Structure 1
Amino acid sequence: MSSAARFIIEGRVQGVSFRAGTREQAARLGLRGFARNLPGGGVEVLAAGEPEAIDALAAWLRRGPRQARVDALERTDAAPAEAGSGFQVR
């Protein structure tokens, strides 16, 4: 059963390959969706797929790539249709 979640990640998450790392993790987990920078310095991630895969991505998002510093992660439910096909960096 497919589900979806939207994440807002705050901290040092722009300019540290956070979106590219997220795309790699999402592809490895078979997720659809996107990652994009937000004007305030955070990153938004929408991921759709199997609930276990979304949970695994959430665990990775709490850490991010080595250069990142995650101060806060907010997770809300989302509609799977919002994810589109594939996983894109916007």
Structure 2
Amino acid sequence: PEVEAALLAHPDVAECAVIGAEDAERGQIVEAHVVLAQGVAPDALTTKRLQDHVKAMIAPYKYPRSVKFIAALPKTQTGKIQRFRLRTEKID
């Protein structure tokens, strides 16, 4: 919730969900799945800008080491984010 709140406070972010992802080097990392606001480019500069924003708002070690840009978050019919699908499926 803390990392998501920090990301949602950035004007480039329309929606986001944060999960723990497997990482060969660290065991597990913070991975953010981000739906960008209209007109924002899904590029390395945007990734860096979002990571720096999170570092400035909360403890720097909590920033998402991986940021994936997606068109829409997978949700149930009632609008709840299906985080398990972010872990198991390739979402575009």
TM-score range, shorter chain: 0.3 to 0.5
Q: TM-score w.r.t. structure 1 length?
A: 0.44
**What's the TM-score, normalizing by structure 2?**
0.44
Q: Write 1 or 2 for the structure with the bigger share of strand.
A: 1
Greater relative CO, 1 or 2 (CA 8 Å, sep 6+)? 1
Q: Which structure's CA Rg is the greater one? A: 2
